[in-house]
Amino acid sequence: MAKEVKTIGVLTSGGDAPGMNAAIRAVVRTAMNKGIKVKGIMRGYAGLLQEEIVDMESTSVSNIIYRGGTILYTARCMEFTTEEGQRQGAEICRKHNIDGIVVIGGDGSFRGAGKLAALGINTIGVPGTIDLDVACTDYTIGFDTAVNTAMEAIDKVRDTSTSHERCSIIEVMGRNAGYLALWCGIGNGAEDILLPERYNGDEQALINRIIENRKSGKKHNIIINAEGIGHSTSMARRIEAATGIETRATILGHMQRGGTPTCKDRVYASIMGAKAAMLLCEGKSNRVVAYKNGEYVDYDIQEALQMTKDIPEDQYEIAQMLVK
């Protein structure tokens, strides 16, 4: 029979994402509603190993649903990728009577959660990353806010790019994934979208398209470049030299990770956080909550980590067609 769950922990790990606070709030309040104690583990797995563990009350999560970032702070922790680090982490959970942990983060954080589960600490993952690069889910907490933040910034760059009749390369985050770039490309009506999943490195073809666009009367040329391709500044220099069109690079950077979460991020985060806490309270372990084909579901962590997903080809083709 599954051990009775009396206390659970919650942590955020990897890059922060707007909406993580809403997820933390949902975990705390759902568990407390079921008479289960909650401990906040600060700074992800790094804080676990340092025993930075605090008791959480219902009021600990008051007034955070609208705040970007994570009140628990976050970190990347190399030590936790070692067997010794994981063993210590599990021991510390036992010392603090933590029966299970909700881990809010991306694939890397779920790998850590899988390791803790194998050591007898129940874990449930909640997908939180602006990159949307968790294969088992169509939605990750933070993507909606980040893509809207980037879209607004790109609109602003477009104004000045048009006034100066320039070409603008705008680099968006996403690590090795092109979801943010694809969405901005479509949402901002960009002339070109460079995705790590699709770009073949043919810069001459890109330059030819810019020249064609100028001949057809376009006053600006917006290129969304994904971080996974990078090199936006040097690309801008080469485009300017080849086309004679003034070209500027803008790297949006960490502003995309901040700011008040959109309603969508708050709602999905609240539901996913609550579902994760419920799973832990039921004694479940080694699962990740996901949103798939219009439903909230959960998967075995190892199965989830083996899933793959790709940029939808039809969406990519439509994006290219709409700018011609």
* Residues carrying an active site annotation: 131
Site for ligand ADP contains 109 (CB under 6 A): yes
DSSP secondary structure letter of residue 29: H
CB of 146 to ligand F6P, least distance (A): 8
Site for ligand F6P contains 131 (CB under 6 A): yes
Q: Which of 37, 40, 45, 168 binds ligand ADP (CB under 6 A)?
A: 45
Count interface residues toward ligand F6P (CB under 6 A): 9
| Residue 123 contacts residue 14 (beta carbons within 8 Å) | no
How far is the C-alpha of 123 from the C-alpha of 120, rounded, in Å? Answer: 9
The helix or strand, by DSSP H or E, that contains position 193, with its residue range, turns out to be strand 192-194
CB of 15 to ligand ADP, least distance (A): 5
How far is the C-alpha of 171 from the C-alpha of 232, rounded, in Å? Answer: 7
Site for ligand F6P contains 174 (CB under 6 A): yes
How far is the C-alpha of 217 from the C-alpha of 88, rounded, in Å? Answer: 64
How far is the C-alpha of 210 from the C-alpha of 144, rounded, in Å? Answer: 30
Residue 272 vs 274, nearer CB to ligand F6P: 272
Q: What does the block give as tokens for 64?
A: 């955070």
How far is the C-alpha of 263 from the C-alpha of 144, rounded, in Å? Answer: 9
Residue 140 vs 250, nearer CB to ligand ADP: 140
From ligand ADP, ligand F6P, none, interface partner of 175 (C-beta below 5 to 8 A by class): ligand F6P
Site string for ligand F6P, 200-239 (x = CB under 6 A): ---------------------------x------------
How far is the C-alpha of 98 from the C-alpha of 180, rounded, in Å? Answer: 36
From ligand ADP, ligand F6P, none, interface partner of 109 (C-beta below 5 to 8 A by class): ligand ADP
DSSP secondary structure letter of residue 212: H
Q: Which of 81, 162, 302, 320 binds ligand ADP (CB under 6 A)?
A: 81
Q: Which of 37, 39, 115, 257 binds ligand F6P (CB under 6 A)?
A: 257
How many Cα neighbours within 13 Å face the side chain of 100? 27
Nearest-CB residue to ligand ADP? 108
From ligand F6P, ligand ADP, none, interface partner of 130 (C-beta below 5 to 8 A by class): ligand F6P
Residue 34 vs 111, nearer CB to ligand ADP: 111
From ligand ADP, ligand F6P, none, interface partner of 93 (C-beta below 5 to 8 A by class): none
Q: Which of 265, 270, 272, 277 is nearest to 39 (CA)?
A: 277
| Residue 181 contacts residue 223 (beta carbons within 8 Å) | no
How far is the C-alpha of 188 from the C-alpha of 99, rounded, in Å? Answer: 46
CB of 195 to ligand F6P, least distance (A): 14
Q: Which of 89, 112, 127, 228 binds ligand ADP (CB under 6 A)?
A: 112
How far is the C-alpha of 145 from the C-alpha of 77, rounded, in Å? Answer: 26
- Residues 59 to 78: which contact ligand ADP by CB under 6 A? 76-77
| Residue 6 contacts residue 252 (beta carbons within 8 Å) | no
CB of 81 to ligand ADP, least distance (A): 4
Q: Which of 175, 209, 218, 238 binds ligand F6P (CB under 6 A)?
A: 175
Q: Which of 14, 18, 125, 273 binds ligand ADP (CB under 6 A)?
A: 14
How far is the C-alpha of 46 from the C-alpha of 14, rounded, in Å? Answer: 11
Q: Which stretch binds ligand F6P (CB under 6 A): 29-37, 152-160, 170-178, 261-269?
A: 170-178
How many Cα neighbours within 13 Å face the side chain of 78? 0
> Would you tell me which residues interact with ligand F6P (CB under 6 A)?
15, 129-131, 173-175, 227, 257
